[in-house]
Structure 1
Amino acid sequence: MVGLDRIRPLSGGKKRLASKSMTGIVLGVAIIVGGCDYLLEPIEEPGAQPTPKPSAPITPTPSPTSDPISPIPTSTPLPEETGAVGSDENTDDLTDSDLVDQEEEVVEEPVSNDDTSETSPETEPTATPTPTPEKPLPTPSATPSPDPVIEPVFEYRPPGDLEPNSGSGAEELTVYVPDMVFPIKTAPAHPQSQVYRYGGGIGGGDQCDERNFEIAWRDNFCENRTRTTTSPYCPSQGVHVGQDIRVGTPEGCMAERRLLPEERKRYEVVAAEDGYISNIGSYTVNVRAGGRIYRYMHMNMRALQVTLGQQVKAGDVIGYVSNDFGGTPTTLHLHFEIKINTAEYGWTWAPPYTSLVKAYERRENAPGEMVLEN
């Protein structure tokens, strides 16, 4: 047949596929129109099909085992192609549907493991996690703020450092009553000698002199007296066995001394510890607190706030600073003693100076400063 001879020169796998396809179509038409040879015209090789866009993989349709359209036998056998054996793929057993499936089959590209490949447009991009260091760096600790510096609110001379020419003191550092309440409730206090300072019998001058209120505290336990009173803590006999405390300001001092003795109620005196009033004399009041006795002297005895046997708490007001001394002249001040019961000496007077320093620091909520000179 002329048409078949003109198709034979097509070569290659794709040409052979096109020839087979067209042969099937021609044979089908020949059956319908009665085998008209003039319908078989030379058929050009179809152009290359455009590559379909990537889509979901298409599962190939299984090929039928037999060709649905059997070729019509011809009287003249087709000549065999010449050339290298096995150089072209044999397509004699392929059907039209097989050709279509092979042309539409999409070959998936191999998946690349390269991290730099583009993300599929259908896939939501995921945030790249921040790499965690192998060893986390230590968090620098905040530098602690330094404690604020609290300025001392008063100065005091060392224990046993008495006024010149007033005797030898007890250089005793022991705080005999560490939790004692300071015996003056709120007013400024100036422990010092009432005999060897201004206004005293030996010091001369005026007790309200400003210099009495400006100097550092000074011990006067063991100060020389003409009496025979003594303490095992003092190096000599005939000594002062308490601590004198000047109170207030120069202005307060002058205002107090202008008043009648019974009117002096400016500066409050308080109990140093829980206890009871064990004695009231002509110018003394005793507070008994377990193994200690606190003796207060020279208060305004006409304005006492306690009675004999009364229970008191530490800080309770018991009277007011004055200068009562049974008719003997003295300065406006409080004389304060601590008497303790010891195994070695029995009841005896103990140095109160160090206990007063600590009690005043607690009252003021600030430290004192020990100095060697005024």
Structure 2
Amino acid sequence: MRSCYQASGGRASPGWLLSGLVAVLTMANVLLVGVPFGLTSALLTDTPSVGANAFSTRPDWEVPATALAKVLNGIGYGDYLRQGGTYAVCAQVTDGGNPPATPLSATANLAVPNNVMTTGATSVSLSSGSFTCEGASYNYQSGTQTADAAIAEGPRTFQVTATDGASNSATTSWAVTIDNTGPSPLAFATANGGATAGKMESGDTFTVTMSESTIDLNRIIAGWTGASTAVQVKTFNNNADFGGNDGLAVCNGGTGAQCKSTGNGSLNILGLVNLAATTYVTNAVTFNATLAWNSVTRVFTVTLGTCTAQCTKVTTGGSSTATFLPQDGATLTGGLRDRAGNGASGSATEGATHF
């Protein structure tokens, strides 16, 4: 039998060494490398060339990553969506390959079994670029999508798959909340902070407790965060919008204009208070005021300031059972809606009015 060591003039023959190297490299080609579940990667390939003494590999074993993804609804809020609402998918995709394999691509599955948001949208392409979603930067975004009209409330999962130029890919799951219920007032209360009970004056307050904390504050006042801000309160006398009673509305004082009692284009930013009596004012009266929102307690607080117009028309109204009716922010400019775009409805009545 021929020995692996073959003497030739006392020296090892280089031929069998070269053949052995080829055999070792050939065996290396069939080694299996484990890939984590949910990830795919092209196999490493090496090509020995005995004649040219060359060795080549595919260098990219790194899978791309989706660092962040969210649904951005049609009114500019992330992670909330309502049935029939429009939305886009934003994603931040990176690739840690050395060197990174380009180009990158991304798709979204919006019809994950038992989590369908848009029927049939299993592979929606995301375009690359520079995008801003809820103030954060993303490098991929889909076109406009529409949620199914009959989608039920609750959490949903969608998926984003990122793929690089070496066919490495990774799929990640992300969450969105389907919210089809608009906010409504649960409680309404007035409090006397002035000198005379039963009379509207500086220091008096009223509060509205809402059913949910995810109120679209930007719909009320552009850029508002909920901190105490200047507004106006305008009263109405024997007004049809209040069933012939006196009433009041909260208006955006930043406009410098009188607010209307109701209707599209109104400067009414919160809702109407029906004072259920005709003895509070004898004409339209305007107060400076402040408006604040507490997202923890879900309470709006309006505090009256100085009277600025028709101040002698304020009378002592005594006690009544005032009712707050929210302005529907889904269909009217201004007013109350949540971050999914559902408009406010309902009403809240206090036991007795105590301005």
- TM-score, length of structure 1 as denominator length: 0.20
Larger-Rg structure: 1
> Please, what TM-score do these two structures have when normalized by structure 2?
0.21
